[in-house]
Amino acid sequence: MRVPSVAGYLALFVLSASLAIYVAARQYAGGDPIRVTPDEAANRVDISIDGKPFTSYIWPEKLAKPVLYPLRTAKGTVITRGSSG
C-alpha cells in the first residue's frame, strides 16, 4: 500500500479549503466578501476577505513545497512565523 506524500495531503487540504471558501462565499448574500485572485506569473493566489488581505497560496521555485504566506487574523495581524508584517 502506498502512503500519500506530504504534497498529496497539502493538495487535499487546499482543495478542501477552497471548496469551503466557495460554499461560504455563495451563501453570503451581501456581495463578494471572499476574493480569490490567481497570479500564475508570480506563482501565487491571493485571498482577501471583505476587501482585506487574508493570505496568499504561494509556490516559489526556491521552496520545496507550496505554503500559505503570510497568514493574518480577522483583525489583520500577521501571525506567520518569521514575518514582519
34: containing domain: 6-68
Q: Is residue 48 part of a domain?
A: yes
Counted domains in the chain? 1
Q: Is residue 81 part of a domain?
A: no
Q: Is residue 13 part of a domain?
A: yes
CA dist 66 and 56 (Å) reads 10
Q: Is residue 79 part of a domain?
A: no
CA dist 15 and 1 (Å) reads 23
The yes-or-no verdict on residue 85 having pLDDT over 70 is: no
Q: Is residue 40 part of a domain?
A: yes
Q: Is residue 74 part of a domain?
A: no
Q: Is residue 1 part of a domain?
A: no
**Which one has a higher pLDDT value, 6 or 84?**
6
Which tens digit of pLDDT belongs to each residue from 15-60?
777 767 776 666 655 666 889 999 999 999 999 988 889 999 999 9
